[in-house]
Structure 1
Amino acid sequence: MASYACFLALVITILTVGFAESVSDTCQGDTIYSERGSRLEVQCDITAEFIAVFWFRGTDADNGQLILRNDHQVKTVKIEGYNITDEGAMVINELQIEHEGPYWVRYLDKGANIHDRTLSIYVKVSLTSNPSIVACGSSSHEICRSIEVNKLQNKLLCIAEETRPPVDLTWNALNGEEQLSWYNNTLNITTSLYTSTSLLEYNPKDFNLEYFTCNVTGRDVQEPRPVGMFVKGYKADSVDKQDIQYFKSGSDLSLKCPKSELGEWGVRYPNGTYDLLWRKYPEYEGGSCLDTDRCEVEEDGTLVVNKVTFRDEGDYMCFSRTGQSDRIVENPVEVHVSPPLMKTVIKGCEDVDKCELNVANKGSLECSIFGSRPSSKPVITLDTTVTDIEVFIFGHTYTEKESTEPGTFDTKLYVEYTIPECSEVVSIECTPGKNDHEDNIDKSVVNLIT
């Protein structure tokens, strides 16, 4: 017979691959939580040598089911999956949810005295993956579907699946302030596992950027598993719109943005689409700039786009949030392409800046600017420093079409003229109209000889 300590205690040993745990407590009325799939050994230490030990499923012998006995060292197993040691400890070889419930143990000491003990076993199923967060406005989750359509926006749902017991879910904003939310636990009767959900409603007018964290706690959570979602709002009077900035095609675009805890760089293209270039929030950095060498965001928050083309035109949006400072800086950007010839071109004088044409007293002229972005309208005028007679220039007609170089345009001005009789030479200039090109576009001159 085995010899035992002089006090009553419950010794629980849980053995899994690479994991062991021992817990000691009084046996009477004790509650044991153990992981599904583990080997569970439960032993109620007794005060003296025993004659027999009996283990029951249930609360007593009358309402329970005998599962194990050790009678004068003769061990009997009544239900498969259980075992009993020489010392009278109950062993569950592989703990499953069906093993949950109350247990009752009776042993007889050498004096034929009866000792009864009770305990309860609960099975834990730990969270094996991080919970998820969905925006109800774009989710088909049944909880989101149960909300009225006009109330779907501005709601986030945190979901933790397949745990036992259910976990606790709470929400925090970036500043750590706990947020009001509604939670629910659902039991899957097939698997006996719980799905826990928590619904958060926020007001997008309170911020431009926010980061909501869903925190997971509970008996079956072995380590904290917070997950978060980056949310954009529209706080009134917080947009700082800058003047248009012009960048020459092939140059590097550089735009400043305050360094922040939460940040985003994006560009809204002229067609209305939005490209997320870069986003930063706790323990995360992402965006298309990290997937290519086309652009980067420096440590101080400056966005650099390498060798811009016309396709990079748009409104560059900097969102920054540090503490209570929450702002948006909007930077309109245009990309300019200077004409390859860097001059206006008069029809008939294509290869030179100044030429002479023999013409009639009445006729027409064409002047063009090829391959520019934005398009630039040519202007035809009389050079009064050379010509002092009255010449009529009329019928101005402009045309514009896409150039052979993508993203650039060809513009043409067509005019008619009338030159008085007996005039010998009339000098006419074609100059670029008002434009924002950094490089100067040279004029062309034609002398009309009648």
Structure 2
Amino acid sequence: MFGTSGIRGTVGTDVTAELALSVGRAVASDGYERVVVGRDVRDSGRTLVDALAAGLQECGSDVLEVGVEATPTIARSIAHLEADAGIVITASHNPKTDNGIKLWTPSGKAFGPEKRASISRRVREADYDLADWDGQGIRERREHVREYHAARLEGAVELEGEPSVVVDIGNGAGTVTAAVLSRLGCTVRTLNGQPDGSFPGRPSEPNRETLGTLMTVVEGTDADLGIAHDGDADRMMAVDETGTFVPKDALLALFAREAAGDGDRVAAPVDTSLAVDDALSAAGASLTRTQVGDVYVAERTTEDGVVFGGEPSGAWIWPEETRCPDGPLAACKLVELVSADRPLSALAGEIEQYPIRRTSIEVADKGAVMDAVGTAVSDRYGDVDTLDGVRVETDDGWFLIRASGTEPVVRVTAEARDESDADAVFETATGIVRSVADAGHPPE
């Protein structure tokens, strides 16, 4: 039922009021007595919030409803409102046809595997503790959580001068970013600032392909940088002062290098570029790799010495602030860095960009193929990382072979420090997968 980022799917097919009711019942029955509930800008969220709240109340939990807010705003409000958990109705960067349900702990970390499994079991078995007529929970509206988030953001950074920033809110819930940057003294222009769950301005996911307008506006003005969020503002991507999209791994490396010092560690997924390793090594810090998914990155930040966590997808975590990916915080941190240092193009230009290769190979049985891949790779290489898929570091680079969580494909990623080595490592990895998939057994 749960993916690494909660429950997501098509409204009316995968995600329904019946499902939301069941999740509410399961969360309350699992002992969470006081639950914060909010949603992103999608209209389907109205129905889903009502059903979710009904399920929570029906099994005795009190519901603290905060309305339409950014996911990090809602996640931060859990501890602020002295609640036991938080639930956000959101499909994050997914298209307008989708919605979803994501569960959060008071630390801002999403529910981990054990907590998700417990909720899934209750829903699957309809194991609910329905309250008597006089034991049902109450539903209250709580205001001002955005103001609380804004105050925390303002206290987390110190800006020099009056930077000029263009903020592309993407018709989502991340208006807090523009408000805070303005209060911090920035000159702020906004794009796609009207909340609209049909995302008329651009697709919800911020990436090089979807941020053409932002890049054009930044290039054509005196802006120091551009910021972009997805629909619920847990992600943040950036454009430099020339209108150039900042590569995702470069942004991760910049944040990591700024956060980590000698002996510190940074958490990032197994498919993170060597550029991040190199940037951290120069600072005396190191990278600790996790499974793909911000919940796994957040979990690693609970370990001693891990001062920052990030995913190249745009999820950035400063554990001293919150373990929820906080797009508005990332925006403020990046503006702070640019205001105190050099133009963003110069900063990003310091980060090496290495050739990386990716492909997806369709297979009949991805589980069986991955089992065979594991055997083949273990026979060929002495040191194999099976934390999430099969990852191997070679003398020239690395490759990762991983089954898709949603499609009948196996994904292959390879990287090296020069083009010919990247091609060679990639050919080796894809050759292993294709041989297994075609022949039904590991290559000789």
| Alignment TM-score > 0.5, same fold | no
Larger Rg: 1
Structure having the larger proportion of residues in strand: 1
Structure having the larger proportion of residues in helix: 2
- Ranked by relative contact order (alpha carbons within 8 Å, sequence separation 6 or more), the top structure is 2
Instruction: Tell me the TM-score normalized by structure 1.
Output: 0.20
